[in-house]
Structure 1
Amino acid sequence: MKKDFLWGAALSNVQAEGGYLEDGKGLNVYDTLVVTPEKGIPPMFCDTAVATDHYHHYKEDIDFMAEMGLKAYRFSVVWSRIHPLGDDEKPNEKGLAYYEDMVDYLLEKGIEPVVSLVHFDMPDHLLRTYNGFLNKKVIDFYAKHVETVVNRLKGKVKYWLTYNEINLAPYQSDLVAGAYCPDNMSKPELFVHLSINTAIAHARAVEVIKRVDPQAWVGGMIGHAPFYPLTCKSEDIIAADFKNKMHNYLPFDIMTSGQLPSYFLNYIQNRNINIKFDEKERQVILESSQKLDYLAFSYYQSSVQSSFDDITDFIELEDAILFDQRGLKNPNYTANEWGWQIDGEGLRYSLVDLYQRYHKPLFIVENGIGIDEKLVDGKVYDDERIQYYQKHIVSLKRAVEHDGVDLMGYLAWSPIDFLSSHKEIRKRYGFVYINRDFDDLLDLKRYRKKSFYWYQKVIANNGEDLSDDIHY
């Protein structure tokens, strides 16, 4: 790996901070999210009042990151901490000061900040009053928010991400896009409108960042899960190809080409969906495509896709594939307790596929495994996590060293424990264990897991030695 490779870690502040309504923060869509349980072991949901109290422990947590040797750390500026309602005339100064202090402390510790600008944290007021990114007024509020944050942190933050897992907006619209599907709107219509509006939001953010800080590097980001055909039948191959285009490629195709791709326009036309997409919006998307520096993605698992033998109508069939809820499993891979299948070499496949398609530097900004863990005598032996990372780092090294992929860095998910996207503390991702239960905050004390020392070693030797020979 090149010497300036950005080994690091990442988290979502809205899932870690707590500090519920402290220092002027407003409610956001994660605070008010009504959780739909994942399949797997029984859920243990938490509220966001404290989470893992990163708001009050961020310097301690960053000290752990520095001890691990992180070269980069991705975090998110919570929108509702800066603009509590979202349509506020003036930002919340205490929120801005908090994140500036965090950036300053990271830089003091020699850690490069990577900042996400919307990550499950749209102010709840924008959902209730405007229906989020289904309303183009919210794009204007977002652009204003981005300008406020970048003005404050310009010259200190080099790497920006416009929108976390933008491709998931149509699937988890309340959490990712701050929008509910209106009663008179079909799922395909919601998919189309949110895909276009979030693409405009991304483009507006790129324009703002490059105008305010021309030296900054700006990337778009998706939640990537490659879909393999379930069988070698041509119907399944066609189904997987369609799913990959619509689920994985669509946002990047728009971001890099500066226009809506033909397969997406065909989808719209075949369903007689009326879209509002004016010349000014087309122009900002086009111009932003010429300013984009890199493409980022999360990777946790691969998936499989098959066709539906009992559906003969092509429109109905495509929509069934796009919104497939069958939970098909690949028989070749094992999974964690929540059924997330572990496919390390799928990361190499994804890197090669995305690099060949877009020819832009790539950045893995999330990769990790959720495990139901227990603290025993102050220790957590998380060899399962180490094995997961070993597989994925071997895979990315092959993509870089053998396949020639231009990869900027690798950010593990996550440096510390926090609530999962489903508000669970039982599903832990961190290198550092935080002592709380789902119904008892306990003492919130931090403990290094075995994987902490393993990743420390990996970073120190630039990924050359991945062996699990840690004395813990």
Structure 2
Amino acid sequence: MAKKPTRHVKEWTIPDKEVTRTDFPSDFVFGVATSAYQVEGASKEGNRGASIWDAFSHTEGKILDGSNADVAVDQYHRYKEDIELISMLGFDAYRFSISWSRIFPDGLGTKVNDEGIKYYNNVIDALLEKGIQPWVTLYHWDLPLHLDESMGGWLNKQIVKYFTIYAETCFVNFGDRVRNWITINEPLQTAVNGYCLGIFAPGRTENASTETYLAAHHQLLAHASAVSIYRTKYKEKQGGQIGLVLDCEWAEALSDKTEDISAAERRLDFQIGWFLNPIYCTDYPEVMHERLGDRLPKFSQEEKDLLRNSTDFVGLNHYTSRYISHSTENPEGHEFYEAQEIERIAEWEGGETIGEKAGSFWLYVVPWGIRKTLNYISHKYNNPPIYVTENGMDDEEDHSAELHEMLDDKLRVAYFKDYLAAVVQAIKDGADVRGYFVWSLLDNFEWCQGYTKRFGVVYVDYKNGLSRHLKSSAYWFLKFFKSGKGKGEKEE
């Protein structure tokens, strides 16, 4: 266990004054987020094809509680009820993902599934009827199973073509009403957890030293190809914007030692630089080239040109932070971290932690980290528009707790207060932050953790018909949005 850090972050502490809606620009977007596989269910309805997560979750030993998302929280049938909740709470936007295998059951793009098109049309129309803007993610990890089994999924460059066909089909069918598009959610998680650690679908570990970077490479090219199609054929007519969503936990150097400061910089390059450098700086970070050599795929000049500035905004999913020290011992035990020569530290001698612990083993409450992350992106990449596309924390499922105990989520309320205050500070620092999305609207299927973790501001009662119940955090947002009403505006 590491010694207590010698660097301090006092200047990054959160002010005592509670944040209100009026602290943000009037056109700042506030939304909630989910993803298709985690909430929709109806896995065999509407002519939906199987995804890699269907296969993975049905493989014994892959999901902590042995569950799957065949039903999930049944948003496929309950979307109107959930949209009513979003409206009642006062959010401007709903970020959701489209299931690729609902549009093309085999992923190939040969025949459009009309039932899938109809379902998402209904969701989009229901949102707009309530004055809620749809923010559509095209890919949130649920690759059509056929693409993985027949051609290796993200390991095959052909997938760029199939993703582009799928993306264009969505632009054609939904782009007259959808103004905000996200190509791919967290390509790092797909690459590292899916093709290195094997804890996410498709669960590969055999050739991690090369497949991790190949899967990321093809996701980048798929993103850039879809953006090119959108900008060339649809953007002018439809008037929307399109971006990429990346995840990044802040990396704070453990000490003022040069080796620790360099280690923290490396950590950020291996997280966010991996994907933003090819977009804004024409190639992968130099440190990745130095440490990975031939394992890192190369871009042709044509691909570099395709990638250049291929995003209208940066979507940031941020939850937590770590202290980082230089280490050659690979305490994580995986190739991806071995190449970085770092140790990620949340706890040090004496048991003190970087922040209060949430439900998941990886999640600590560290509000100052989001401000630092936003400023880092702003300074390094010439101040691009940024939307915080996910931010939140989870509670451990507790089968012995009474419902009222689970609804009184005091730590989550404190989390949102402090993280939002830190976002306000980042805006004052000069970062061009334009929106914030809560993760998540609902408790749901939390990937390899199954239903053991609850991220929602709305509680889902898995034992009693998946009924929805507002938590204290949901009521806090209701009050927060009312705090932004002017004196002349009516509060309902």
State the TM bucket, normalised to the shorter chain. Answer: 0.7 to 0.9
Q: 2:311 is matched with which residue: 292, 316, 330?
A: 292
- 1:218 is paired with a residue of what secondary structure? strand
- 2:364 is paired with a residue of what secondary structure? coil
Measure the CA separation in 1 of the matches of 2:99 and 2:335: 39
Measure the CA separation in 2 of the matches of 1:299 and 1:435: 27
Q: 1:281 is matched with which residue: 286, 289, 303?
A: 303
Cα deviation for residue 242 of structure 1 reads 1.2
TM-score by length of 1: 0.87
Do structure 1's residue 448 and structure 2's residue 470 form an aligned pair? yes
Check the 8 A contact 1:28/1:123 in 2, yes or no: yes
- Corresponding residue number in structure 2 for 1:107: 128
Question: One-letter code of the match for 1:444?
Answer: L
Count of residue correspondences: 445
Do structure 1's residue 337 and structure 2's residue 359 form an aligned pair? yes
Do structure 1's residue 69 and structure 2's residue 87 form an aligned pair? no
Mark the CA change 1:463 to 1:226 in structure 2 (over 3 Å): closer, same or farther.
farther
Measure the CA separation in 1 of the matches of 2:73 and 2:134: 21
Check the 8 A contact 1:132/1:178 in 2, yes or no: no
Mark the CA change 1:16 to 1:149 in structure 2 (over 3 Å): closer, same or farther.
same
Cα deviation for residue 319 of structure 1 reads 5.5
Farther-moved stretch of structure 1 (347-356 vs 58-67): 347-356
Cα deviation for residue 197 of structure 1 reads 1.6
**1:246-261 pair list within 5 angstroms:** 246-261=270-285
- 2:417 is paired with a residue of what secondary structure? helix
Q: 1:404 is matched with which residue: 401, 426, 430?
A: 430
Cα deviation for residue 328 of structure 1 reads 5.2
- Corresponding residue number in structure 1 for 2:15: none
Measure the CA separation in 1 of the matches of 2:402 and 2:421: 29
- Corresponding residue number in structure 2 for 1:11: 34
Cα deviation for residue 236 of structure 1 reads 2.2
Measure the CA separation in 2 of the matches of 1:317 and 1:48: 30
Check the 8 A contact 1:114/1:160 in 2, yes or no: yes
Cα deviation for residue 228 of structure 1 reads 1.7
Mark the CA change 1:178 to 1:416 in structure 2 (over 3 Å): closer, same or farther.
closer
Measure the CA separation in 2 of the matches of 1:151 and 1:25: 20
- Corresponding residue number in structure 2 for 1:305: 324
TM-score by length of 2: 0.83
Q: 2:160 is matched with which residue: 134, 139, 161?
A: 139
**1:262-277 pair list within 5 angstroms:** 262-268=286-292, 271-273=293-295, 275=297, 277=299
Do structure 1's residue 229 and structure 2's residue 248 form an aligned pair? no
Farther-moved stretch of structure 1 (221-230 vs 139-148): 221-230
Q: 1:435 is matched with which residue: 438, 461, 481?
A: 461
Q: 1:240 is matched with which residue: 264, 270, 276?
A: 264
Q: Give CA deviations for 1:350-408 in whole Å, capped at 9, x if unaligned.
A: 111111112111100100111135552697111121011111011111111x2122111
Check the 8 A contact 1:307/1:321 in 2, yes or no: no
Cα deviation for residue 230 of structure 1 reads 2.8
Mark the CA change 1:308 to 1:182 in structure 2 (over 3 Å): closer, same or farther.
closer
Cα deviation for residue 253 of structure 1 reads 1.4
Measure the CA separation in 1 of the matches of 2:129 and 2:405: 29
Cα deviation for residue 317 of structure 1 reads 10
Do structure 1's residue 84 and structure 2's residue 100 form an aligned pair? no
Q: Give CA deviations for 1:271-327 in whole Å, capped at 9, x if unaligned.
A: 3347464343333223xx1x521101111101232222569xxxx999515386877
Q: 1:207 is matched with which residue: 228, 235, 240?
A: 228
- Corresponding residue number in structure 2 for 1:370: 394
Cα deviation for residue 460 of structure 1 reads 2.5
- Corresponding residue number in structure 2 for 1:383: 410
Mark the CA change 1:345 to 1:158 in structure 2 (over 3 Å): closer, same or farther.
same
Q: Give CA deviations for 1:235-256 in whole Å, capped at 9, x if unaligned.
A: 2222221121112222011122
Farther-moved stretch of structure 1 (249-258 vs 154-163): 249-258
Measure the CA separation in 1 of the matches of 2:261 and 2:335: 14
- 1:31 is paired with a residue of what secondary structure? helix
Measure the CA separation in 1 of the matches of 2:273 and 2:46: 40
Measure the CA separation in 2 of the matches of 1:180 and 1:371: 26
Unaligned runs of 5+ in 2: 1-23, 487-492
Do structure 1's residue 2 and structure 2's residue 25 form an aligned pair? yes
Check the 8 A contact 2:64/2:449 in 1, yes or no: no
- 2:294 is paired with a residue of what secondary structure? coil
- 1:23 is paired with a residue of what secondary structure? coil
Unaligned runs of 5+ in 1: 465-472
- 1:122 is paired with a residue of what secondary structure? coil
Mark the CA change 1:250 to 1:276 in structure 2 (over 3 Å): closer, same or farther.
closer
Question: One-letter code of the match for 1:6?
Answer: V
Check the 8 A contact 1:127/1:178 in 2, yes or no: no
Measure the CA separation in 2 of the matches of 1:37 and 1:333: 31
Mark the CA change 1:393 to 1:326 in structure 2 (over 3 Å): closer, same or farther.
closer
Mark the CA change 1:403 to 1:248 in structure 2 (over 3 Å): closer, same or farther.
same
- Corresponding residue number in structure 2 for 1:467: none
Mark the CA change 1:57 to 1:264 in structure 2 (over 3 Å): closer, same or farther.
same
Mark the CA change 1:176 to 1:96 in structure 2 (over 3 Å): closer, same or farther.
farther
Q: 2:421 is matched with which residue: 386, 391, 394?
A: 394
Q: 2:380 is matched with which residue: 350, 357, 360?
A: 357
Do structure 1's residue 415 and structure 2's residue 437 form an aligned pair? no
- 1:422 is paired with a residue of what secondary structure? helix
Cα deviation for residue 125 of structure 1 reads 1.4
Do structure 1's residue 154 and structure 2's residue 175 form an aligned pair? yes
